[in-house]
Amino acid sequence: MLVLDFEKPIYEIEEKIDNLKKMANEQGIDVMDEIYALEKKKNEIIKNEFENLSIDKIIKIARHPNRPYTLDYVKYIVEDFTEVHGDRSFRDDKAIVTGFGYIDSQKVAVIGHQKGKNTKDNLYRNFGMANPEGYRKTQRVMKLAEKFNIPIVTFVDTPGAYPGIGAEERGQSEAIARNLYTMFETAVPIIVVVTGEGGSGGALAIASGDKIGMLEFSIYGVISPEGCSSILWRDTEHSIEAAKAMRVTAKDLLELGVIDEIIKEPLGGAHRDYLQASENIKEFINKGLSELKALSKKKLIERRWKKWREMTTKFL
């Protein structure tokens, strides 16, 4: 397990608690009071740190190697899930997973970026950076979902669309553009959850829904803070300043009217409690679905058009 620098005090206390428990077991001593005190201290440390988590730490949590990814959430939220593969044209892109299943007996189509948990896994998943065939796979699944009137849930977590020779040869820009277009036209409810890092067009390509939620410590931006720093500041030293200036946190995006809701994370971040994080996301999905399911196809698209037509116009 990977622990970030500023998480160390938390894990040190947890280690102490574990040791006490072990001791209690082995020697039959009553350590309840000590454990209680330590738990309290731990929760205070986390609360203090996370209540006003600084931007550099938010970015680290959003990209935490232990952070849950799409298939983790699927495991906790979606019943009877079956993954479907391939764009029927070139190949199956492992950086995006798609499939069907049920959330509380409600049929759903799932689309999400998939990162890996270790180097080997990450190479297989291309670090969650999709190629055109990944986006075309999602177009296929969106059309399937529409055909059988199944709502769509997407999980967004990618550094960006993959910048490679093959990606350009196979039309990365066309694939993303077509996703934006198709997603707008797909006449079933679409719920979007930004779970980690929403990196530019590669994220937006599966993030244009009717309800958009963002996990508390996720980020979403037009370019990565590092990319922005290297272009606008012409060095790599200003990524934190760039992130601040671009306003990439869930709080920022809610204020700017780009997302609908911030989804709370468990104490210390989603990676510390997959189940609780999943529960919170599920609640957001269910709430959105029950609101949108009441709408006719026509009303749904009207509502969607209104949403996008009005977005950002308050700044004109």
Partner 1 sequence: MSIFRKKKKEENKWIKCKSCNETFYVEELEQNYWICPKCSNYFRISARNRIKITADEGTFKEFDKKITTKDPLEFSDLKPYKERLKDAEAKTGNKEAVVNGVCEIDSQPCVLSVMDFAFLGGSMGYATGEKIIRAIEKAIKLKVGLVIISSSGGARMQEGILSLMQMERASAALSMLAKKGLPYISVLTDPTTGGVAASFSMLGDVILAEPNALIGFAGPRVIEQTIGKGLPEGFQRSEFLLEKGFIDVIVERKEIPKYIGKFLRYFSENVKK
**Nearer Cβ to partner 1, position 227 or 268?**
227
Is there binding between residue 41 and partner 1 (CB under 8 A)? no
Only segment of 21-29, 175-183, 266-274, 282-290 that touches partner 1 (CB under 8 A): 175-183
| Contact pick of 201, 213, 269, 288 for partner 1 (by CB under 8 A) | 201
Is there binding between residue 164 and partner 1 (CB under 8 A)? yes
Is there binding between residue 252 and partner 1 (CB under 8 A)? yes
| Contact pick of 102, 124, 148, 181 for partner 1 (by CB under 8 A) | 181
Contact 157, 112 (CB under 8 A): yes
232 alpha carbon, distance to own chain's centre: 27
Residues 205-224 close enough to bind partner 1 by CB under 8 A: 205, 208, 220-223
Only segment of 37-45, 84-92, 143-151, 156-164 that touches partner 1 (CB under 8 A): 156-164
| Contact pick of 25, 173, 236, 290 for partner 1 (by CB under 8 A) | 173
Is there binding between residue 163 and partner 1 (CB under 8 A)? yes
Is there binding between residue 165 and partner 1 (CB under 8 A)? yes
User: How many secondary structure helices (H) and strands (E) does the chain include?
Assistant: 14, 8
**Nearer Cβ to partner 1, position 163 or 293?**
163
Is there binding between residue 311 and partner 1 (CB under 8 A)? yes
3 state SS for 105-166: CEEEEEEEECCCCCHHHHHHHHHHCCCHHHHHHHHHHHHHHHHCCCCEEEEEEECCCCCCHH
Q: Give me 97's structure tokens.
A: 């997973």
Only segment of 3-11, 65-73, 81-89, 302-310 that touches partner 1 (CB under 8 A): 302-310
**Nearer Cβ to partner 1, position 102 or 124?**
124
Contact 143, 182 (CB under 8 A): yes
Contact 156, 193 (CB under 8 A): yes
**Nearer Cβ to partner 1, position 43 or 122?**
122
Residue type, 174: E
Write the CA distances from 157 to 193, 203, 271, integer angstroms. 9, 7, 14
**Smallest distance from partner 1 to CB 223, Å:** 6
Residues with Cβ < 8 Å from 298, sequence gap 6 or more?
none
Query: Which element (helix H / strand E) includes 194?
Result: strand 190-199
Is there binding between residue 180 and partner 1 (CB under 8 A)? yes
Contact 188, 143 (CB under 8 A): no
Is there binding between residue 148 and partner 1 (CB under 8 A)? no
| Count of residues in contact with partner 1, rule CB under 8 A | 55
Write the CA distances from 64 to 1, 32, 108, 182, 207, integer angstroms. 11, 32, 28, 32, 21
| Contact pick of 42, 64, 137, 304 for partner 1 (by CB under 8 A) | 304
Is there binding between residue 245 and partner 1 (CB under 8 A)? yes
Contact 263, 80 (CB under 8 A): no
Q: Which residues bind partner 1 (CB under 8 A)?
A: 161-165, 167-174, 176-178, 180-181, 183-185, 200-201, 204-205, 208, 220-223, 227-228, 231-234, 238, 242, 245-248, 252-253, 256, 258, 304-305, 308-309, 311-313, 315-316
